[in-house]
Structure 1
Amino acid sequence: MAQFNETELTAAVVKSFEQTPNPRAKFLLQELVKSLHDYVRRTDLTFAEWEYAIDFLTRTGQKCSDIRQEFILLSDVLGVSMLVDAVNHRDRDGATETTVLGPFYVGEHKVTPHGTDISAKLEGERMFVQSRVTDLAGRPLANVPVDVWHADGDGFYDSQKPSFATEGASSRARFITDADGRFFFRTILPCSYPIPTDGPVGEMIMQTRRHPMRPAHVHFLVNAPGYEPLITHVFIGGDKYLDSDVVFGVKDELVAQVETRSDAAMPDGTKATGPWHLMTYDFHLKPGEGLAPKPLGAKVAEPA
């Protein structure tokens, strides 16, 4: 008869999954059991701590809804989201670095003409973004859809606002690269912003004396046939949170030095009404396969 003591219990639970039909599911479950049991032993976990953890996870689930995904936020602030991204993109071979999708991706965006001001309804410092998509040899990739989205000057995404359902997208669009792999658009300069702190994840961040801030960035999803989909951010150089992003998403290569300009016109000839900013960043894609991601967990969720 099995003796379910401290050491033999783990082996018994691992063995209980031996008949799992899917080999990958079997492996993942057995490794999870080993890691969890090892954590309990190494920490001498008390009943009170175990009960607190159960309550924390229960409240995390209860905070999830059609417009919020607290478990993604938990994954982000524990560095799990970025670690999953890292182990799935170990060999970049000169391709642009990846980072997390972020749960404010709401699915396929509307195709928009080059030069459009995607933040026309918003107040803020104006910014012109110019970019090019190439392969690893620098050859342009034409007719490639590029989704872009970012927060507004107050640190909110359009889909966080009640007006999203009636007024539609803002600071969000899809562009198709031209024959030279280029696309460009106008917008506002995004700002750094806090993740939500009104739920259990925010409670954990505040109680552990971590700050809740993300550095300013623009999201890009580049999806060219015959190449790995590229999910990344471009961060605004000089942001004070670049070295302490609450979700650990910053990589040196993804920081753009955004120029402040006083030219009378932007690169596409649009008249400037005052100082403006110029972001220039090119994307290099790696050959391969893959599907563009779907929104994670909900129509709208917490920042990443």
Structure 2
Amino acid sequence: MISLCLTFILVSLTVTDVETTGSSSEFYDKFTIRYHISLILKGMWDNPVHRQAIVNESKSGKQFVKFINMLMNDTTFLLDESLESLKRIHEVQELMADTDTWTQTPRDQQQIRQRQLTADERQCRSYLTLAKETVDMFHYLTVDIKEPFLRPELVDRLAAMLNFNLQQLCGPKCKNLKVRNPEKYGWEPRRLLSQLADIYLHLDCNGFAAALAGDERSFKRELFEDAAARMERALIKTSTQIDQFRSLALKASEIAIQNIKREVDYSDAPDEFRAVELRERIEAWKREKKKAAASM
């Protein structure tokens, strides 16, 4: 009975029949529907018997990979929309805080900005509520379930999603997410950072490190170091967890360097160029190792 119920929930989360409302807002309605179904799944997870059924389903159920794929799609969309809304809110709040500039802004432009701010605030609250639930689901599922998340057809996308959002939170433009009264929107950056870090740690293995290293868009050793330093200062994680986080980043960085070495084609280059190029890359690798050793 539990297995049948679980299968129904997973199918409901991944198949569109339950989400076909026929309204013009159908695309957005599906997130609300999935939100309420996900609350049922979370309730099941809190029950040891039901939790084991979910773990068993992840090993044999055909729907689970589709479910994870849906979860990644939803998380990517909802976090993107939430963070973009926060950036726009930040921009308008900064503009309004600059009294001289704001008073010199034409009245019609002020009204447009204020209307956009109201719309962004409403959207931000809504999307953050939904996004927090999808991230929560990743967070608690990866405690006991690993293999499906590490499958070749999923792991690269998952690594890229995590890296991109880590960059949003800890990268050079993270200040653009700072807004006044963040609780008004349900914005908890420390909580999100903590959960992302946990997901990295839950999935920590050589295969996952390789997937992180393969993300050329967002993966940078410095990004992980910045994130670790933030968590250290804010006491978000224990020293053991931060050490493991740094170790995973180092492992991924070493794999990335090896990938570069394999990809560089020296076949048409003069011997002198090949020697210099390889030496530079090896020196960069040594510097990374030395820096990592000094930070531990």
Common topology (TM > 0.5): no
Say which structure, 1 or 2, has more relative contact order (CA 8 Å, 6+ apart): 1
Which has more strand, going by share of residues?
1
Q: Which has the higher helix share?
A: 2
